[in-house]
């Protein structure tokens, strides 16, 4: 039987052209008036997933790598 991908992970992780997993930083949707401009500016950039989590991402998204 074909292994299914994790639906929640599909929505949160995207892959760069080099095959690295990228995701959006959390805490950027609401209560922004209490956060500094510098912090809000850093939220715009995507972040590469840490090497310690790559094996878990590969297990949850078997058909994407």
Q: What is the CATH number of the domain that holds 33?
A: 4.10.410.60
Condensed to tens digits (0 to 9), the pLDDT of residues 42-60 reads 999 889 999 999 999 999 9
| Structural domain of 51 | 7-60
Question: What is the residue-averaged pLDDT of the chain?
Answer: 91
Number of domains in the chain: 1
Number of other residues whose CB lies within 10 A of the CB of residue 21: 21
Q: Judge whether residue 65 has pLDDT over 80.
A: no
Query: Is 39 inside any structural domain?
Result: yes
**65: in domain:** no
Q: Is the pLDDT of residue 7 over 90?
A: yes
Report d(CA 25, CA 47) in Å as an integer. 7
Span 30-39, pLDDT tens digits: 999 999 999 9
Indicate whether 38 belongs to any domain.
yes
Residues near 58 by Cβ (< 8 Å), separated by ≥ 6? 65
């Amino acid at each position: 039987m074909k292994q299914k991908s994790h639906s929640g992970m599909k929505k949160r992780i995207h892959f760069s052209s080099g095959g690295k997993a990228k995701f959006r930083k959390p805490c950027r949707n609401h209560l922004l008036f209490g956060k500094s401009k510098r912090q809000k500016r850093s939220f715009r950039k995507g972040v590469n997933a840490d090497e310690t989590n790559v094996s878990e991402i590969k297990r949850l998204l078997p058909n994407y790598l």
